[in-house]
Structure 1
Amino acid sequence: MREVNRLQEMEVFLAVMEEGSFSAAAVRRQMTPSAVSKMMTRLETRLGATLLRRTTRRVQVTDEGQAFARSARGVLAALDQAEREVGGGPVAGLVRIATSSAYANYILAPMLPRLLRAHPELDLELIVGDGITDMAGQPVDLAIRAGPLPDSTLQARSLGTTEVLTVRAPGAVAAQVGFAYPRRDPLWHGDTPRVRANDGATVTALAASGCGTARAGAFMLREALASGTLETVPGSAIGQEQFHVVYLGKATTLPARITAVVEFLTRNGRVDT
Structure 2
Amino acid sequence: MRDTNRLAEIETLLSVLAEGSFSAAARMRGMTPSAVSKMMARLEERLGVTLLKRSTRKIQVTEEGARFARQGQAILEALDAAEHEASCGRVAGTVRIATSAAYANHILAPILGGLLQTHPEIRIDLAIGDNVSDLYGQPIDLAVRAGPLDDSTLMTRHLGRSEIVEVMAPPRGDGGPPPLRIGFSYARRDATWRGRSSRLLVNDGATIAALVAVGAGAARVGRFTVARELAARQVVLCDPHAEPLFEDFHLLYVGRAKTLPRRVQAVLDYLTRHGRVD
Structure 2 residue corresponding to 1:242, chosen from 241, 248, 273:
248
Aligned letter for 1:239?
Answer: L
Matched with 2:214 is 209
Question: Does the 8 Å contact 2:166/2:238 carry over to 1?
Answer: yes
Is the aligned partner of 1:196 residue 2:204? Answer: no
Aligned letter for 1:111?
Answer: I
Task: Report how far residue 213 of structure 1 moved.
Answer: 0.8
Matched with 2:234 is 229
Change beyond 3 A, Cα 1:86–1:103: farther
Aligned residues: 193
Task: Report how far residue 238 of structure 1 moved.
Answer: 4.6
Matched with 2:159 is 159
Q: Distance in 2 between matches of 1:123 and 1:85?
A: 18
Q: Distance in 2 between matches of 1:100 and 1:86?
A: 32
1:1-273 equivalences in 2 (<5 Å): 82=82, 84=84, 89-171=89-171, 174-234=179-239, 235-272=241-278
Matched with 2:36 is none
Question: Does the 8 Å contact 1:129/1:199 carry over to 2?
Answer: yes
Task: Report how far residue 197 of structure 1 moved.
Answer: 0.8
Q: Distance in 1 between matches of 2:208 and 2:264?
A: 31
SS at match of 1:204: helix
Q: Distance in 2 between matches of 1:245 and 1:136?
A: 15
Task: Report how far residue 96 of structure 1 moved.
Answer: 0.3
Aligned letter for 2:226?
Answer: L
Aligned letter for 1:113?
Answer: G
SS at match of 1:265: helix
| Deviates further, 91-100 or 173-182 | 173-182
Question: Does the 8 Å contact 1:94/1:125 carry over to 2?
Answer: yes
Aligned letter for 1:213?
Answer: A
Change beyond 3 A, Cα 1:100–1:85: farther
Report which of the two structures shows the higher radius of gyration computed on alpha carbons.
1
Q: Distance in 2 between matches of 1:86 and 1:132?
A: 32
SS at match of 1:219: helix
Task: Report how far residue 86 of structure 1 moved.
Answer: 7.7
Task: Report how far residue 264 of structure 1 moved.
Answer: 0.4
Render the CA deviation track for 1:110-157: whole Å, top value 9, x for unaligned.
100000001111000000000001111111000001001113311000
Task: Report how far residue 84 of structure 1 moved.
Answer: 3.1
- Aligned CA RMSD, in angstroms, stands at 1.9
Q: Distance in 1 between matches of 2:96 and 2:82?
A: 18
Task: Report how far residue 222 of structure 1 moved.
Answer: 1.0
Q: Distance in 2 between matches of 1:120 and 1:271?
A: 25
Aligned letter for 1:132?
Answer: V
Task: Report how far residue 212 of structure 1 moved.
Answer: 1.1
Render the CA deviation track for 1:201-227: whole Å, top value 9, x for unaligned.
000011111111111111112100011
Task: Report how far residue 105 of structure 1 moved.
Answer: 0.2
Question: Does the 8 Å contact 2:168/2:179 carry over to 1?
Answer: no
Question: Does the 8 Å contact 1:86/1:254 carry over to 2?
Answer: no
Task: Report how far residue 169 of structure 1 moved.
Answer: 0.5
Task: Report how far residue 237 of structure 1 moved.
Answer: 4.6
Change beyond 3 A, Cα 1:85–1:118: farther
Q: Distance in 2 between matches of 1:238 and 1:180?
A: 24
